[in-house]
Amino acid sequence: MSNKHHLELTQVGMDFPTPKGPFNALQDVNLRINKGEFISLIGHSGCGKSTVLNIVAGLYKATKGGVILDNQEVNEPGPERAVVFQNHSLLPWLSAYKNVELAVKQTQNGRSKKEMKEWVEHNLELVHMSHAADKLPAEISGGMKQRVGIARALAMEPKVLLMDEPFGALDALTRAHLQDSVMEIHAKLGNTVIMITHDVDEAVLLSDRIVMMTNGPAATIGEILPIELARPRNRIELADNPQYNHYRHEVLKFLYEKQRKVESVEEHRKKQSEQKSGATQINVA
Ligand SMILES: Nc1ncnc2c1ncn2[C@@H]1O[C@H](COP(=O)(O)OP(=O)(O)OP(=O)(O)O)[C@@H](O)[C@H]1O
Ligand SMILES: [Mg+2]
């Protein structure tokens, strides 16, 4: 299989219908991703990161351009593109084990009963959750639920793993552990990953390339920063590595100088609710 053009976003544009007419969220998004690459998407709140991810997932259909994965156009969700959401979406009445098993069953993998059991156990082991396989989501912590969500996605053997702020709701320590697990798994399995994050350190630590998005409307890719740090990466060693700090600086500069956001979080929320209710849209410079 050729390494080139594994996943291609070409001239992707997205207009959302609103009561006031179409809202142009994305415009001319072009990105080529190699097999096994770890890509982070970073940008201010509301710029369109989740929209990009949802288009790649096949949950949204781009109004312009399109996505091609291994020479096939993406038109709908599929098991070769698994999604991990910020808030885990486990079924509350199923144990961790059963949640993973259900996802595997949906992939029509032709495994025997024994193979299935081994596969589910293997994936729970990858995220260090074997000990809690029989627990219900309500009986485990937020970080553990997120681990099960990742195991469930991995167990589907996706070509592409899509993660929308997967560690956003977690405390710093749990987050660090999970980042290390994800790096370990990525090294082992070599999946292609697209991860949305707001965390600059997380982006630099995990990524092969950081894709930085401009502010919307008509958001697009502003800059792409390749992260050429040797793997495996160790967060403590990198803390005073000049190259690491240079990358960090570049991302911060993009976000807080080049794409400085004037509106506050409250303004953004207000704008969003107005957009939804069809009230006049306030444009913030
Ligand atoms: N279904 C929708 N209908 C109308 N507008 C939408 C819809 N979904 C998203 N938008 C708008 O598109 C823009 C991009 O939204 P998106 O959720 O992709 O941003 P984001 O970068 O993921 O933000 P955050 O970091 O806050 O999650 C926003 O202005 C948002 O209000
Ligand atoms: Mg989002």
Query: What are the tens digits of pLDDT across the range 150-181?
Result: 999 989 889 999 999 998 888 888 889 889 98
Q: What is the pLDDT of residue 1?
A: 47
Query: Which of 47, 195, 196, 259 is the pocket-test mutation for ligand 1 (most atoms within 8 Å of CB)?
Result: 47
Long-range contacts of 127-134 (CB under 8 A, 24+ apart): 127/151, 127/154, 127/181, 127/185, 128/181, 129/96, 132/96, 133/95, 133/96, 133/97, 134/95, 134/96, 134/97
CA of 16 to the centre of ligand 1 (A): 9
Please, which pLDDT band fits residue 278 given cuts at 50, 70 and 90? low
Domain presence at residue 136: no
Domain presence at residue 130: no
| Ligand 1 cavity residues, CB under 6 Å | 16, 18, 23, 25, 43, 45-51, 216, 272, 275
Please, which pLDDT band fits residue 281 given cuts at 50, 70 and 90? very low
Ligand that comes closest to the CA of residue 63: 1
Is a pLDDT exceeding 80 seen at residue 187? yes
Q: What is the pLDDT of residue 89?
A: 84
Owning domain of residue 170: 7-80+158-254+261-276
The identity of residue 248, as a single letter, is R
Q: Report angle CA 160, 91, 111 to the nearest 5 degrees.
A: 55
Domain presence at residue 72: yes
Residue nearest to atom 6 of ligand 1 (CA): 16
**CATH number for position 223:** 3.40.50.300
- Domain tally for the chain? 1
Average pLDDT, the chain: 91
Ligand that comes closest to the CA of residue 276: 1
> Residue 43 CA: which ligand 1 atom is closest?
21
Q: What is the pLDDT of residue 262?
A: 65
Domain presence at residue 133: no
pTM assigned to the model: 0.88
Tell me which of 48-52, 145-149, 217-221, 225-229 is least confident.
145-149
Is a pLDDT exceeding 50 seen at residue 3? no
Please, which pLDDT band fits residue 282 given cuts at 50, 70 and 90? very low
> Residue 53 CA: which ligand 1 atom is closest?
18
Domain presence at residue 162: yes
* Section 265-271 average pLDDT: 70
Domain presence at residue 192: yes
CA of 267 to the centre of ligand 1 (A): 14
Q: What is the pLDDT of residue 168?
A: 85
Domain presence at residue 115: no
Domain presence at residue 108: no
CA of 47 to the centre of ligand 1 (A): 7
Please, which pLDDT band fits residue 42 given cuts at 50, 70 and 90? very high
Distances from the Cα of 173 to the Cα of 72, 91, 183, angstroms: 40, 26, 16
Top mean-pLDDT range of 103-107, 136-140, 255-259: 136-140
